[in-house]
Copies of this chain bind each other. A is one copy, B any other.
Amino acid sequence: MAKEKPSIPKGTRDFGPQEVAKRKYILNTIEKVFIKYGFMPIETPTMENLSTLTGKYGDEGDKLLFRILDSGETLEKIRNSKFEIRNQNEFNNLIAEKGLRYDLTVPFARYVVMNRNEITFPFKRYQMQPVWRADRPQKGRYREFWQCDADVVGSDSLLHELDLINIYAEVFENLGIDVEIKINNRKVLAGIAEVVKGIEHLNTIAVAIDKLDKIGKDGVSKELTELNFTDTEIENLFDIITIKGNESEMLETLKIKLQSSQEGLKGIEELEFIFNLINQSTNEPTNLKTDFSLARGLSYYTGCIFEVAAVKGSLRSSIGGGGRYDNLTGIFGLDGVSGVGISFGLDRIYDVLEELKLFPETLSQGSSKVLICANNSIENIELSPVLQLLSKLRNEGIASELYTEKINVKKPLEKPIKYASSKKIPYAIIYTENESLKLKNLETGFQEELSMEEIIEKLKG
């Protein structure tokens, strides 16, 4: 067999020890808060039936699904079809019935429907797993990336919106990232559409203003003009979505603008209710802002819409988002179950923490606390005392290892210390036959003769 030069698929990554430690730090920080707010974990399979996935993410989403080739005689199937396959879709359906998880929301909806009889509602679950999308890879966008979701299904109460906002605030505070949590409401967007041009233009307006950050006011105006919006309509639209003031002033102004829209006023009421709740609770996230242009592609949202972005550094794209969807499980035959949820994007949060140098320094420690180095190659010493030392350390819960390789007897510590340094092991124990043990601090170089008990005490401290 030819020796191939190995590589990994584009858009995917390997994670070395330091990266895994940093990713775990983020996951643990998020998970702790999820648990504190009463969410419980579930996990769903990497592969889902394509019947579960297709049609849930729009045509664009369907194209980005990774499909798994069926096992067995797929070529035979193609031959049996007499190669009369009209298009790529038909071809795909003939040879692939499974796909990789595209997000955590649809599998969660499927889970709820399949387990409806065992679940007590409201059901508060969290889920932290990778998802896959055949997107064009670019900076900050990967084909395999992790989402961390918390959702509540089976309750209409806006108290859950409050909890989710508090979770966002607390997680990012714990991570040390300054963020802005933007909030809007689908009903407000509907009201705006009604007032500006008519409810049937809701999607067009939502898609256009969603791009405001990227293409600016001029870009959005141009796009709307091309879609037959009059200058007055566009002016009215911007008039509303750029309302200024503090939160209560903005909502008061919006109330006047949307006074003719029942749905719009309902949306404002929901936002007001949430701001009131926040004022009443002691954990007051001051970084929650209304943004009447926030739409997040609307997708399945029916109530509140959330989005979180960092306010420092160069990475200002969304690191979290979510909202309320009144009938998510309806696609799987279970109607009338309202849900609200948020998602954290692990990989983007990682990039923000890296750029702003916000990872705790202690994370960069290697896994072992101490490396035992003999002053002779391991095959030339009596192993018994060394092995007993090693057992003793480990029995005390101290992560320890023994340097197992040949050494240069003239410079007996050279290779072990290079090894320890690469793993960021902070201490070495120097073992010499018939002599007492020495403990060496590898950062300062300080070294002292100590008994085994003293060493253990020192390393445990």
A residues with a Cβ closer than 8 A to B are 1, 3-9, 12-17, 19-21, 23-24, 35-49, 51-52, 55, 63-64, 66-69, 71, 73-76, 78, 83, 85, 87-88, 91-92, 95-98, 100, 110-111, 113-115, 118, 120, 122, 124-125, 130, 132, 134, 143-144, 155, 157, 159-160, 162-163, 277, 280-283, 330-333, 366-368, 371, 378, 383-384, 387-388, 390-392, 394-395, 397-402, 404-405, 418-419, 422-423
Contact = CB atoms under 8 A, between A and B. Distances in A.
A7 B114 contact: yes
A23 B366 CA distance: 25
Given A6-B110, A40-B366, A157 B51 contact: no
Nearest to A152: B404
Contact of A46 (B92, B144, B163, B391): B144
B1 A331 contact: yes
Contacts of A398: 36
Contacts of A118: 16
Given A120-B419, A332-B3, A387-B281, A378 B157 contact: yes
Contact of A277 (B64, B111, B383): B383
- Residue with the highest number of chain B CB atoms closer than 10 Å, among A12, A87, A113: A12
A404 B159 contact: yes
A401 B9 contact: no
Contacts of A134: 71
Contact of A282 (B143, B280, B388): B388
B88 A69 contact: no
A183 B282 CA distance: 61
Contacts of A111: 14
Contacts of A144: 45-47
A125 B422 CA distance: 13
Contacts of A283: 391, 394-395
11 contacts: A1-B55, A8-B110, A15-B44, A20-B42, A47-B143, A69-B69, A74-B88, A78-B83, A122-B419, A159-B378, A280-B383
Contact of A47 (B12, B368, B395): B12
Nearest to A135: B71
Count this chain's copies in the assembly.
Answer: 2
Given A9-B45, A98-B9, A91 B67 contact: no
A88 B75 contact: yes
B14 A282 contact: no
Contact of A368 (B38, B83, B332, B402): B38
Contacts of A277: 383, 387
Nearest to A109: B6
A326 B455 CA distance: 36
A41 B21 contact: yes
B4 A332 contact: yes
Contacts of A13: 45
Contacts of A42: 14-17, 20
A30 to B, nearest CB: 14
Given A52-B6, A78-B78, A367 B69 contact: no
Sorted nearest first, the 4 A-B pairs with minimum C-beta distance are A38-B401, A12-B45, A120-B422, A17-B40
Given A17-B40, A46-B132, A63-B71, 20 more contacts: A3-B332, A6-B52, A6-B333, A7-B49, A8-B49, A9-B47, A12-B47, A14-B111, A17-B41, A17-B125, A69-B92, A71-B134, A74-B92, A76-B88, A122-B419, A155-B405, A157-B404, A281-B390, A282-B387, A283-B394
Most buried by B among A9, A83, A88, A332: A9
A74 B98 contact: no
Given A120-B423, A390-B281, A14 B38 contact: no
A95 B122 contact: no
A282 B392 contact: yes
